[in-house]
Amino acid sequence: MKFFVSCGKGLEYLLVDELLALGVAKATATVSGANVEGELIDAQRAVLWSRLASRVLWPIAEFDCPDELALYDGVAAIAWPQHLRSEHTLSVDAHVSGDAITHARYAAQRVKDAVVDTLRAQGLDRPSVDVDHPDVRINLSLRKGRATISIDLGGGPLHRRGWRQVQNDAPLKENLAAAVLMRGDWKNIHAQGGALLDPMCGSGTLLIEGALLAADVAPGLQRHGGQLPSHWLGLDPATWPALLDEAGQREAAGRAALKQVIFGSDIDPHAIRAARENAESAGVPAAICFGVIDVSALQPPPFARGTVVCNPPYDERLAADAALYRTLGNALQRTVPQWRASLLCGDAELAYATGLRASRKYQLFNGAIECVLIVCDPVGLPKQEGATPRELSEGATMVANRLRKNLRKFKAWRQREGVSCYRVYDADLPEYAAAIDVYTEEGGEVRSFLHVQEYAAPEEIPETDVRRRRNELLSAARGVFALPEVQVAMKSRERGKGGSKYGRFEQRGELLQVRESGALLQVNLFDYLDTGLFLDHRPLRRHMAQESRGKRFLNLFCYTGVASVQAAVAGADSTTSVDLSGTYLEWCASNLSLNGFAGAQHRLVQADALRWLEAEKNRYDVIFCDPPTFSNSARAEDFDIQREHVRLLRACVDRLTSEGVLYFSNNFRRFKLDVEAVAEFANCEDITAQTIPPDFQRKPRIHRGWRLPRTG
């Protein structure tokens, strides 16, 4: 059977490793969870033992769900007497996306109504609702017009372990704390005789989870108190007691062997009081030594090796302070230079402020707050003979300050929209004329790359000044993002041999996987002038993808096929991608394959787009046309967008269905649309303002866009 285990965003790859270690047959990471293959006992074992999971969902039905009537009918068709009794209490959680049903609470209500009505129609009593502690918790997932009804085997959020008595203003979820400990390799370090330290422990979440992990205590033992987490009738009543018995034996042995090797401190005595109460509730007070200590006065524990874990303040409500992060970094280098550190920081800027050299960085989410987890092993920086810290020049400092300002400015928008590839600087300071784009690699380990494109300097600027400013710009960017040189792609507008516009590119053949609007995409930052992803078209692509659900999508001059992939991910019936370049079409095919799309439903056409259009017979519901300014390819007739655009747009509109729409875009700044000629066959709406994302507002002329439905 296949089931789903959810988790916080950023924990997916750790969760997969954990589930495989628990014995499931197969686990594959997906957004905020893992798709799992295994037996029902594997799912119950995950409820009891997973330290990272949020919920374990066992599906019992799946059906098409275009509207609320289909939702009700689909749920009513389930044989509910096989799943719960009338005396059971129930609750329904719902997660919906799409246009058909937009309110999760309403969807949950309709599911509950269908369950209750079905039982009553069979002469059974109406079950009661208990939203906090139901006997059976039902889960609805509605995505792309497809509904999945599952039983929540854990009966609710699994991060609630049952030991927390007191919490501070911004408590860390226990499953996120477990991830910090796992990235810090705490279990292995404890087995080798090492210690655990949290110098800003708050109410003690990291330390208590660390003690329970070291003692091999199943996180579900105290949560469920020996009771069944779900009274779903599909469970084997003998399975859970057997799992509890095994967990109890392991707990007894682990607690007996647990020594006082865990140390926690905080400047706030109220926090330490809360931490002690929580440790008492969890049954580990003897394993943890607490103290009221300012981090600047930290003293080293009597252990040569250990793990430092910490969740320093970063939420705006807690007034994140870069100086506090620097104090933390200095204290750790002074007291535990040979230890391993796993620090959950608010963002890359605060992580950089620690002054620690991270060997790995991971993107995690504490609730809705995007964080950066840095792993330093060891904490102490390797010393180089004669090396002295390099200070940024005055100009580089100005650039660094502007970059930090822009990161703060875009942070809320990026978190809200889920944007991981964006423009962070665009000649904000005229003398440092370049565009800097951030590309965040998709995967368990987060690596950020910078793509820097230098604008041509005026001829009167001496070359020495150009190079100095370029070096200052790069120093500032690498410093702010704490990146090595190999993760920065620099493209300078220099006159190369033969009159080329740019100098030599690196030929690294390094493809990165990034994510935009739910689609995995390959980009190449080093080998080509463009990366394979035009960031300024992000809003237009998202809009077209949503409009293409259940429709036929045509992508002309498709480049690497990003718009086609996102339309497919959004649920387009079919996509057709046309380009003259075989290289781009291969790239497009790779992007489609990366997202699980292939075959006749997703057609790739190598052809001159205009000639192909005028010979094509099929019709399309949504067409995207983003032509180059001009082309003199030997394989196609000469093309000039200003000269040919009316002919091109007419050919596009001729391929539209009666209700279809054409989206036309180009980046030729002197382009003038022949509105009068186009009006003969299409309505024309300038939508440029709606297609410029926040990170391109400084230069909104990056492109222009029009929406052209067929007239009549």
**In Å, how far are 47, 229, 238, 282, 382 from 221, measured between CA atoms?**
10, 10, 17, 11, 43
Flag whether 522 is in a domain: no
Q: Is 349 helix (H, G, I), strand (E, B) or coil?
A: helix
For residues 660 and 350, the model is more confident at: 660
Same structural domain, 39 and 187: no
pLDDT tens across 356-402, in order?
988 888 988 887 788 899 999 999 865 444 444 456 788 889 999 99
**Residue from 190, 200, 90 nearest 149 by CA:** 90
Number of domains in the chain: 4
Most confident of 72-81, 315-324, 478-487: 72-81
Cβ–Cβ under 8 Å, residues 6 and 30: no
Whether 206 has a pLDDT exceeding 50, the answer reads yes
State in Å, rounded, how far the first CA of the chain is from the last one.
Answer: 52
Q: Sheet holding 421-426: strands in order across?
A: 421-426, 434-440, 448-454, 488-491
Same structural domain, 363 and 402: no
Would you state the pLDDT for residue 98? Answer: 80
Model confidence band, residue 570 (pLDDT cutoffs 50, 70, 90): very high
Instruction: Find the radius of gyration of the CA atoms of the chain.
Output: 29
CATH code: domain of residue 272: 3.40.50.150
**Residue from 395, 426, 396 nearest 409 by CA:** 426
Same structural domain, 304 and 405: no
pLDDT tens across 407-444, in order?
999 999 998 898 999 999 999 999 999 999 999 988 66
Average pLDDT over residues 18-41: 94
Whether 640 has a pLDDT exceeding 60, the answer reads yes
One DSSP character per residue, 536-603 reads GGHHHHHHHHHHTTTSEEEEES-TT-HHHHHHHHHT-SEEEEEES-HHHHHHHHHHHHHTT--STTEE
Whether 636 has a pLDDT exceeding 70, the answer reads no
pLDDT tens across 433-475, in order?
999 999 998 866 668 899 999 998 888 888 888 888 998 999 8
Cβ–Cβ under 8 Å, residues 455 and 427: yes
Which range (54-63, 83-92, 166-175, 229-238) has the least confidence? 166-175
pLDDT tens across 282-310, in order?
999 999 999 999 999 999 999 999 999 99
Same structural domain, 298 and 410: no
Across all residues in the chain, what is the average pLDDT? 90
Would you state the pLDDT for residue 384? Answer: 45
Flag whether 63 is in a domain: yes
Model confidence band, residue 347 (pLDDT cutoffs 50, 70, 90): confident
CA 403 to mean position of chain CA atoms: 22
CATH code: domain of residue 114: 3.30.2130.30
pLDDT tens across 121-179, in order?
999 999 999 998 999 999 999 988 999 999 999 999 999 999 998 776 667 899 999 99
Flag whether 466 is in a domain: yes
Would you state the pLDDT for residue 463? Answer: 85
Same structural domain, 288 and 420: no
Model confidence band, residue 47 (pLDDT cutoffs 50, 70, 90): very high
Model confidence band, residue 501 (pLDDT cutoffs 50, 70, 90): very low
Flag whether 235 is in a domain: no
Same structural domain, 15 and 81: yes
The secondary structure of residue 531, as a DSSP letter, is -
What is the token pair recorded at 61?
Answer: 């039905």
Cβ–Cβ under 8 Å, residues 340 and 379: yes
Which range (18-27, 161-170, 385-394, 635-644) has the least confidence? 385-394
Average pLDDT over residues 609-633: 88
Q: What are phi and psi of 391, to 5 degrees?
A: -90, 145
What's the CA gap between 329 and 358, in Å, rounded? 11
Would you state the pLDDT for residue 256? Answer: 92
What's the CA gap between 27 and 710, in Å, rounded? 47
Angle at 663 between CA 661 and CA 668, to 5 degrees: 155
**In Å, how far are 106, 620, 624, 628, 703 from 709, measured between CA atoms?**
34, 12, 12, 22, 20
Q: Which secondary structure element, helix H or strand E, spans residue 327, and what is its range?
A: helix 322-335
Cβ–Cβ under 8 Å, residues 473 and 490: no
Would you state the pLDDT for residue 110? Answer: 96
Would you state the pLDDT for residue 502? Answer: 40
Would you state the pLDDT for residue 495? Answer: 42
Same structural domain, 606 and 468: no
What's the CA gap between 302 and 32, in Å, rounded? 39
What is the token pair recorded at 676?
Answer: 């009068």
Q: Is 523 helix (H, G, I), strand (E, B) or coil?
A: strand
Cβ–Cβ under 8 Å, residues 475 and 491: no
> For the whole model, what pTM was predicted?
0.66
One DSSP character per residue, 181-206 reads HHHTTHHHHHHTT-EEEETT-TTSHH
Flag whether 672 is in a domain: yes
CA 671 to mean position of chain CA atoms: 37
Q: Can you give the three-state secondary structure of 168-181, one letter per residue?
A: CCCCCCHHHHHHHH
Whether 27 has a pLDDT exceeding 90, the answer reads yes
Q: Sheet holding 195-198: strands in order across?
A: 288-292, 262-266, 195-198, 306-310, 340-345, 369-376, 360-366
Average pLDDT over residues 673-684: 93
One DSSP character per residue, 664-688 reads EEE--TT----HHHHTTTB--EE-H
Cβ–Cβ under 8 Å, residues 351 and 310: no
Cβ–Cβ under 8 Å, residues 439 and 448: yes
Flag whether 251 is in a domain: no
Q: Which secondary structure element, helix H or strand E, spans residue 263, and what is its range?
A: strand 262-266
What's the CA gap between 575 and 564, in Å, rounded? 6
Flag whether 608 is in a domain: yes
Torsion angle, alpha carbons of 342, 345, 350, 352, to 10:
30
Same structural domain, 640 and 604: yes
What's the CA gap between 444 and 12, in Å, rounded? 7
What is the token pair recorded at 289?
Answer: 């030594």
Same structural domain, 550 and 665: yes
Same structural domain, 546 and 643: yes
What's the CA gap between 693 and 419, in Å, rounded? 11
Parent domain of 182 = 174-215+258-376
CATH code: domain of residue 406: 3.30.750.80
What's the CA gap between 60 and 40, in Å, rounded? 12
Could you give the angle at which helices 174-183 and 12-21 cross, rounded to 10 degrees?
80
What is the token pair recorded at 246?
Answer: 């095994």
Average pLDDT over residues 208-234: 92
Same structural domain, 568 and 648: yes
Would you state the pLDDT for residue 504? Answer: 42
The secondary structure of residue 374, as a DSSP letter, is E
Same structural domain, 484 and 546: no
Flag whether 128 is in a domain: yes
